[in-house]
Structure 1
């Protein structure tokens, strides 16, 4: 139970920092007059931070050779992350942070239901049911309300 609570709190914190990341990246994009470069710079700094973390935890870098065993499709994750960060940098100043992230969450939840339902790439299967669909519909209603006001 305690582990579950820590995981839930970590997920909430991870979600909570995304709007801050967006606002900071937007400011960087304005400073350099190029939102896509801001996304690139964000990834470079993030990569350096992850490298420092790996050094701190004494990661066994000899395991890097195992990367060649990964399916080629997994490398799309980096491109998808870059698209996401660049899109948020471009969209948030135009739509507002609340609407942008409301739409992002609605898109995430909709696709997540489909991925869960099919157990995509070995994920545990969690079938779509009316309660889960109702949750997404309520999110979409929230997005409409945010958009209106």
Structure 2
């Protein structure tokens, strides 16, 4: 897949995350419980993912492959997802969608640049450069401008 199509898919994914965040934050407000909204979102996501796996997967991992997966990888992503998504649902109604998403993206990008620089989690190393640092500074300035009242 070429870089332009991958970039477009990433942009669409980001828009969908903002959309789901606002819808599920609204659900959390109506239920008066953002954690319950997270549970409902994860349960419905599980159902959708289960259906897609059934429709698209030709070969499932065997027992040997499953045993090779470190225990923490079965749970850590779900835990961090729960914390991150629940914080979105809790803060969107208090801060507003653009404010929360802008701060959330800032946190994601700052962490991603640091993790990429050090090659954490077995991912390719992406060394820090003046260009990357300039991009982070520009993003932080942009976030301040977006949230200036």
Same fold (TM over 0.5): yes
String of CA shifts for 1:120-148, please: whole Å, max 9, x gaps.
12211110011101111111111111221
User: Match of 2:13?
Assistant: 14
Cα 1:20–1:99 change in 2 (3 A) is same
User: Match of 1:96?
Assistant: 96
**What stretches of structure 2 of length at least 5 have no aligned partner?**
none
Task: Indicate the RMSD between aligned Cα atoms, in angstroms.
Answer: 1.5
SS in structure 1 of the partner of residue 2 of structure 2: helix
In structure 2, how many angstroms separate the alpha carbons of the residues matched to 1:27 and 1:107? 23
SS in structure 2 of the partner of residue 27 of structure 1: helix
Q: How does 1:109-124 map to 2 (within 5 A)?
A: 109-124=109-124
Matched, 1:24 2:23: yes
TM-score (norm 1): 0.91
**What stretches of structure 1 of length at least 5 have no aligned partner?**
none
Q: How does 1:19-98 map to 2 (within 5 A)?
A: 19-61=18-60, 63=61, 65=63, 66-74=65-73, 75-98=75-98
In structure 2, how many angstroms separate the alpha carbons of the residues matched to 1:3 and 1:88? 31
- State the shift of 1:64 in Å: 5.9
In structure 2, how many angstroms separate the alpha carbons of the residues matched to 1:96 and 1:31? 16
Q: Tell me the number of residue pairs that the alignment of Structure 1 and Structure 2 aligns.
A: 147
TM-score (norm 2): 0.91
SS in structure 1 of the partner of residue 126 of structure 2: coil
Detail structure 1 runs of 4+ shifted over 6 Å in the superposition. Answer: none
In structure 2, how many angstroms separate the alpha carbons of the residues matched to 1:10 and 1:47? 21
In structure 1, how many angstroms separate the alpha carbons of the residues matched to 2:72 and 2:107? 21
